[in-house]
Structure 1
Amino acid sequence: MNSVRPPLVDGHGRAIGDVRVSVTDRCNFRCQYCMPAEGLPWLERSDVLTFEEIERLVTLLVQMGVHDVRLTGGEPLVRRDFPVLAARLAAIPGLQDLSVTTNGYLLDRDADALVAAGVHRFNVSIDSLQRDRFFEMTRRDALPRVLAGIERLAAHPEAHPIKINAVAIRGFTEDEVLPFARFAREHPYEVRFIEFMPLDADHTWTPGSVLSGAELRELIGREYPLEEAPREPSATARVYRFADGQGQLGFIDPVSDPFCGDCNRIRLTADGKLRTCLFSHNETDLRTPLRDGSSDDAIDAIIRAAVWRKELKHRVNEPGYVQPLRTMSAIGG
């Protein structure tokens, strides 16, 4: 097996360096911007990629120059023996960064094992710091447990900075902004606001429901002046420091300020479909060649052909935009 392959490049000249790998479509929350209250039909277990299949694909991608892997769901920590998978991926030669996005519900149980496995970057989703409003958004009374899990994780110096993700929805997040700003000042975490995207199962998204990063910065700036930090190429977040140096905030604005031009990301769904954009209407099946005896070189060719067709940009802001069939939980965050 070749340890190095030609770089993975799309038809617009962008080198792909980041893959988001969904390890399950299952989730123990029912967040309003993602899933209906009754949940969604789960994939059959036989349709979900095995650890061996995920490891084989990630190894191939790393050989093509992908250096960052983020493990997502659904909720990745509900996947049985998830820290075992993390350890196997962390051991792949050439992989530089292994991270996890989680709702935090099982962090108190798994934080130690995941850090020991080699995961040193974590994003934890919290949409409110008020217990009743957290319940309203997630349909789970779980805020104390999530905060306890973050404290358990924070005990590991190598896991910092821990990022807290909050989806910004008009009519809800306005009341959360200043409490989150204070939270970022009082704890060694980076709070990041992510604009509400049209990937919800209930299809309630409208352009008017997006609370933009610019509006959030205006609300925070009245109380705590902000200064923008330098932005790294291909970064999704614009990071701002508090002017007095106590803490920082991130703003991910895919709707109001798209960052498609330097996007270096692809996504792998739990059932083995390659997606070249979060908002893609097309997917490439990798599970079938994984299971029909195809060689690594054959799968390499399939991946390259799909990535070459990667979209130049999403079209969320264009007339006639149609939401993808898959919801966020089925794509992978």
Structure 2
Amino acid sequence: MSASEPLIDGHGRLISDLRVSVTDRCNFRCQYCMPAEGLPWLERADVLSFEEIARLVALFASLGVHDLRLTGGEPLVRRDFPRLLAMLAATEGLHEVAITTNGYLLERDAAALVAAGQRAGGAKLRFNVSVDSLQRDRFYALTRRDALAQVLRGLEMLAQFPQAHPIKVNAVALRGFTEDEVPAFVKLARTHPYEVRFIEFMPLDADRAWSSERVLSGAELHALIDALHPLEALEREPSATARVYRFADGRGRIGLISPVSEPFCSDCNRIRLTADGRLRTCLFSLRETDLRGPLRAGADDAELEQIIREAVWLKELKHHIGEQGFTQPERTMSAIGG
């Protein structure tokens, strides 16, 4: 597929990062995302097929998208997911393919995922593993699954593959909860080859229990960590979501993602595709653009490109969290894809 003019939104931002949700299903019930009883899942026929995902990813790549992140729900619950990964990682024009997973199935799938990336031989394969607590009882309380030991075994399995590094470990930061987790995560970052990243709690929970009082800010986390082991800031890469720090003695790195207290909307280069084929131009979009319908109706690439360009041109300037009139989107994080 020949390269076209790059994707640019109405604010002059170049779009180069696509997050694709491959399923809305998840085997966890994290409090900041889903209710204990779960959510109604999409019908199988409504979910994009591997071939449909591959076609759309190739089209986005021809428009200048070079970073792809595969999310869910939990992407590893999608049947035969390593085959999809191999298909997508071979896409011409992609530089990096990242997988965001809760790690529960990594013990089973790590080798197959790394092999799929190697077979493709193109894009660099990266992993982000969500671990919100390093204490079994607290992990259970937050995820509603007694799964910490299995997640940590999966992480260790993944770490055996040099091709999988650098591995990032993500923790959602909740006031009244994460403060007590900081020492253990700092130790993890300093003794294992993982970059630990804390992400501020965002208003995307199905229970609609989010409040600003529950947000433990990046600045507060920085102070807690720096008091344990001094930090040195690294230069922020353009469009990066995380502010990355290294420990002053050189032993490990920490990332702070602060979309609530320090929004990074001004150079946002990200768009999202939901499992049912809707294009979202912001995590907090109140509108979506249907790509599955035209795709299944026989639209050619030129027609799909026009639909994509028109949607991207209207990409939101910022997300408005904390401002008067902010409206939480109907879809939760599990249905959008992180």
Deviation per CA, 1:145-201: give whole Å up to 9, x if none.
000001110011011110000000001101001110111001010000000000000
The one-letter code sitting in structure 1 at the alignment partner of 2:109 is D
Aligned partner of 2:238 in structure 1 is 233
The one-letter code sitting in structure 1 at the alignment partner of 2:228 is E
2:148 is the alignment partner of 1:161: no
Give the CA deviation at 1:273. 0.2
How do 1:194-213 residues align onto structure 2 when only pairs under 5 Å count? Answer: 194-213=199-218
TM-score, normalising length: structure 1: 0.99
2:11 is the alignment partner of 1:6: no
Instruction: Point out where structure 2 has 5 or more consecutive residues left out of the alignment.
Output: 118-123
Give the CA deviation at 1:3. 1.5
Alpha-carbon distance between aligned partners in 1 of 2:316 and 2:69, rounded to the nearest angstrom: 21
Instruction: Point out where structure 1 has 5 or more consecutive residues left out of the alignment.
Output: none
2:46 is the alignment partner of 1:41: no
Aligned partner of 1:22 in structure 2 is 21
Deviation per CA, 1:285-316: give whole Å up to 9, x if none.
00001100111100000000000000011100
2:266 is the alignment partner of 1:261: yes
Deviation per CA, 1:222-241: give whole Å up to 9, x if none.
11111101110000000011
2:72 is the alignment partner of 1:67: no
The one-letter code sitting in structure 2 at the alignment partner of 1:69 is L
2:323 is the alignment partner of 1:318: yes
Give the CA deviation at 1:220. 1.1
The one-letter code sitting in structure 2 at the alignment partner of 1:236 is T
Aligned partner of 2:281 in structure 1 is 276
Q: Pick the aligned partner of 2:150 from 133, 139, 145.
A: 145
* 3-state SS of 2:228 partner: coil
* 3-state SS of 2:163 partner: helix
Alpha-carbon distance between aligned partners in 2 of 1:72 and 1:280, rounded to the nearest angstrom: 18
Give the CA deviation at 1:320. 2.1
Give the CA deviation at 1:322. 1.2
Alpha-carbon distance between aligned partners in 2 of 1:319 and 1:228, rounded to the nearest angstrom: 33
TM-score, normalising length: structure 2: 0.97
The one-letter code sitting in structure 2 at the alignment partner of 1:80 is R
2:293 is the alignment partner of 1:294: no
How do 1:85-124 residues align onto structure 2 when only pairs under 5 Å count? Answer: 85-118=84-117, 120-124=125-129
The one-letter code sitting in structure 2 at the alignment partner of 1:149 is G
* 3-state SS of 1:174 partner: helix
Aligned partner of 2:120 in structure 1 is none
Aligned partner of 1:245 in structure 2 is 250
Q: Which moved more, 1:110-119 or 1:185-194?
A: 110-119
RMSD across aligned positions (CA) = 0.7
The one-letter code sitting in structure 2 at the alignment partner of 1:170 is R
The one-letter code sitting in structure 2 at the alignment partner of 1:315 is H
Identity of aligned residues (%): 72
Count of residues paired in the alignment = 332
Which segments of structure 1 move beyond 2 Å, counting only runs of 4 or more? none
* 3-state SS of 1:25 partner: coil
